[in-house]
Structure 1
Amino acid sequence: MHEPPSEPSSPFEIIEPRELVAPVVLNSPHSGAHYPPHFLASTRLDPLSLRRSEDAFVDELFRPAAELGVPLMRALFPRAFLDLNREAYELDPRMFDGRLPSYANTRSLRVAGGLGTIARIVGDSQEIYAGRLPVQEALHRIETFYQPYHQALARLLGRIRSQFGTVILIDCHSMPSTGSQREERHRADIVLGDRYGTSCSPALTGFAEVTMKGLGLSVSRNAPYAGGYITEFYGRPVAGTHALQIEINRALYMDEKRHERIAGFDALAAKLQTFAEQLIAFSRHEIDGRRVAAE
């Protein structure tokens, strides 16, 4: 059964722990699977093709980790509808009827590749829409879904940073098991993205790499993914906010063609829970030249 669920009552959910035990936030911006009916009516693709852009089941993989005492924030709408890991107004004017705001970023590489805030393509360059969209539809999505999500994420990070003096944002994603370029045909199990050392303390990236390898997972840094807008925008180590993107190879836990979990799902979730346990312990120690209080 590949029909995606319909539109949820809220664009996102923050799963709060019974007791906050560490300055860590887990964020899953691309795992949403509730498809607004008007969006489905506007697309030329079948539901399974649309779902290929999801970071499928990533929020479920990290759910056991969140139960250890840190919050998990997740989008409920899909990436094909609106991409939270972009600037608010990264928009392709060729997709819309009407004039975009003067402040829209229409020249980014992501827009050129069809992957702006409102994506033009999914999967292997499959066009999402049968025709142009009204500009007002793009602005509505940004105002109704994008802005409330980022406002809530910023408040969550600010609250935890105020309580602990620092905060670690783990931005949780998944990636296709193979890439289009020869050098990345066989990808690592985990790709850590820290914007080439700028979005978090080097100690955090080093900890994550050593820990993941200790769990039997192969790890790459910043290739082919160095972290997107969320990692870049929120990662301010000097200000006490550390952002690290984690990309998980989908072959570890799902059948990529059928969009279904496989037997390895529970084993991977258990490894991520162990990673979270060690991250919680790490977060209570020095990561940026000062000791993080445990309370």
Structure 2
Amino acid sequence: MDWLEVTRGDAPLVVSFPHTGTDIPADVEARLVSPWLARKDADWWIHQLYDFAADLGATLVRTRVSRTVIDVNRDPSGASLYPGQATTELCPTTTFDGEPLYRVGQAPDPAEVAQRRGRWFDPYHAALAAELERLRSAHGKIVLYEAHSIRSRIPRLFEGELPNFNIGANSGAACDPGLVAAIESACDVSGFSRVTDGRFKGGWTTRRYGRPGTGVHAIQMELACRGYMDEPEGEPSPETWPTPYDADRARFMRQTLTHVLNACLDFARR
């Protein structure tokens, strides 16, 4: 499966990248309003921002398929993770800003959603679950770290400007409080802003696998993009978004994230 990337490490840490993919099959792309709109909400450059994680011994799991095709961090039952708030579906039909992704009458029907789930969603989670079990058997206690990012301002989803670091632990149910405290400490000394269990409490993956009693501690980190890349001042357009990845621009964020992942490893090894 050339769309699924698994880099195995031996440390008690798995880093999952569910939304960095931009691949869209031709038969799906032909039905879209715009390929740019379909990639607009990707977690831009996140797998590059965290490319040091493998050197720490972490296991990396990443899909190259766009979240527009299927979002592997949504509840496959279709239940909303944030009842009463705007969100997107397992196979999204709108952008975060509410723009339609498909031409009229071209959105996937339930049969196609089920087909996409079998082709991409289920194999992704089978691979993720296998790596978690491999490492849990070896270490007893492990951390699953969900790596995400989002534009700093999306009025349809949240008011105002999002903090730089948005830690999600499913209101404390997905991991031990000690892990949350260690990550908070690594973030707070950086000078970047931070919130825990704010607008983003953790997606389906964090909620599904975070079982502290079994030794699997899951945490989601949603970064505001401005912490590591330039964001347009006004509404994004094909000419202004995404801005290119710039290693110098991202350097300070990478330094903090290195401390964050090391905090995860220290917690797991205690």
Q: What is the TM-score when the length of structure 1 is the normalising length?
A: 0.81
- Unaligned 5+ runs, structure 1: 1-8, 91-104, 286-295
Aligned-residue sequence identity (percent) comes to 28
Amino acid at match of 1:274: H
> 2 CA distance for matches of 1:35 and 1:110?
29
Change (3 A) 1:24 1:128: same
> 2 CA distance for matches of 1:127 and 1:163?
46
Matching residue within 264, 268, 281 for 2:253: 268
Change (3 A) 1:159 1:171: same
Contact residue 24 and residue 170 of structure 1 kept, 8 A: yes
> 2 CA distance for matches of 1:182 and 1:198?
23
Aligned residues: 258
- Residue 26 (structure 1) aligned with residue 11 (structure 2): no
> 1 CA distance for matches of 2:31 and 2:85?
22
- 1:98 matched to which residue of 2? none
Cα offsets for 1:39-66 (capped at 9, x unmatched): 1111112x22222211111111111122
- 1:10 matched to which residue of 2? 2
> 1 CA distance for matches of 2:91 and 2:158?
29
Amino acid at match of 1:273: T
When Rg is computed on C-alpha atoms for both structures, the one with the higher figure is 1
> 2 CA distance for matches of 1:182 and 1:57?
21
Displacement after TM superposition at 1:81 (Å): 1.1
- Which stretches of structure 1, 4 residues or more, deviate above 3 A after TM superposition? 107-114, 181-184
- 2:223 matched to which residue of 1? 248
> 2 CA distance for matches of 1:62 and 1:108?
26
- 1:153 matched to which residue of 2? 128
Q: How does 1:1-295 map to 2 (within 5 A)?
A: 10-17=2-9, 20=10, 22-45=11-34, 47-90=35-78, 113=86, 115-130=88-103, 131=105, 132-180=107-155, 184-256=159-231, 257=236, 258-260=241-243, 261-262=245-246, 263-285=248-270
Change (3 A) 1:154 1:111: farther
Cα offsets for 1:122-174 (capped at 9, x unmatched): 13101111124344322221001000000111111011111111111011111
> 2 CA distance for matches of 1:212 and 1:112?
27
- Unaligned 5+ runs, structure 2: none
Amino acid at match of 2:72: L
> 1 CA distance for matches of 2:167 and 2:264?
14
Amino acid at match of 2:69: F
Change (3 A) 1:155 1:183: closer
Q: Any idea what SS the aligned residue of 1:126 has? A: coil
Report the RMSD for the aligned CA atoms in angstroms: 2.2
Contact residue 56 and residue 174 of structure 1 kept, 8 A: yes
Change (3 A) 1:170 1:157: same
Contact residue 96 and residue 154 of structure 2 kept, 8 A: no
> 2 CA distance for matches of 1:89 and 1:200?
23
> 1 CA distance for matches of 2:162 and 2:48?
22
> 1 CA distance for matches of 2:29 and 2:200?
29
Which stretch shows the higher mean deviation, 53-62 or 268-277? 268-277
Q: What is the TM-score when the length of structure 2 is the normalising length?
A: 0.88
Q: Any idea what SS the aligned residue of 2:223 has? A: strand
Change (3 A) 1:109 1:212: closer
Contact residue 58 and residue 172 of structure 1 kept, 8 A: yes
> 2 CA distance for matches of 1:74 and 1:280?
20
> 2 CA distance for matches of 1:48 and 1:113?
21
